[in-house]
Amino acid sequence: TDDQPPGLTVRELRVAFDGFTAVDGVDLHVAPGDLRFLIGPNGAGKTTLVDAVTGLVQATGSVRFGGRELLGRPVHRIARLGVGRTFQTATVFEHLTVLQNLDIAAGADRRPHTLLRQRRGVPPAVEEALTTIGLTGHANRPAGTLAHGQKQWLEIGMLLVRDTPLLLLDEPVAGMSHAERDATGELLRTVAADRTVLVIEHDMEFMRAFASSVTVLHAGRVLSEGTVAEVRADPRVQEVYLGH
Ligand code: ADP
């Protein structure tokens, strides 16, 4: 229904705050099946770019996903078009169980009156998400008692049950142990197999292990893009990260 390739297509994206241009003409395409990492020094514009895609800040240019223009739509409409986001700190309902958290997320847009009703079975989408995030054995635990990594996985699960074909993740492994990071990498690979995933990340070791492609932002612009090996070999990237 659209001449754009599937996935996320950003064209000439610009965001300015009081005359300061934080995102300065970014072009970006992330295809479904790709696990794209967005890296760059502090202040490069990574968060602002994701804010623009999710409707949190005003921008010019174009952001297309699923055959639709996202720019200019309010945050809740963009979310309803299948765009999901996580922040560095997981926001789950601590006093509710893992299952209840997923249930609420699954019904969030559709059946508010049935939200916390006792159900006989677990809906298939919730069951599937539980398996994907590796929390099947913890379904009835209050989310507040989960380990840090498990809470992050639950938050991703809450996007999966809502049928979110585009996921924007902000430093998903911040504060995690090595084992949790590896499990998260595997989870993201699974999630990205049939979704479009963009991950803001500072952890270079994690990026090297799991990214299928990388976009490097610097001063609001795309400095480099390619595979992990291509980006690491790029002298412009080395200059930005290592200095002169
Ligand atoms: P990154 O996520 O890559 O660290 P940000 O997108 O957070 O970078 O920030 C990019 C630039 O925009 C920074 O110089 C930052 O100070 C500036 N910036 C971000 N948000 C605002 C805002 N609300 N008002 C003014 N300047 C901002």
Phi-psi bin for 231: left (phi > 0), alpha (psi -120 to 50), beta?
Answer: alpha
pLDDT digits (tens, 9 = 90+) for 201-229: 999 999 999 999 999 999 999 999 999 99
CA-proximal residue: ligand 1, atom 13 (nearest): 43
- Shortest-distance Cα residue to atom 15 of ligand 1: 43
**Separation CA 207–CA 130 (nearest Å):** 25
Other Cβ atoms closer than 10 A to 20: 8
Lookup: tokens for 195: 């979704």
- Per the confidence metrics, is the pTM higher than 0.80? yes
Residue 170 bridge partners (DSSP)? 200
ipTM > 0.95 for the complex? yes
Q: What is the mean pLDDT of the chain?
A: 92
Q: Over the stretch 39-51, which tens digit does the pLDDT of each residue have?
A: 999 999 999 999 9
Tell me, in angstroms, the distance from the centre of ligand 1 to residue 239's CA: 21
Average pLDDT over residues 136-143: 96
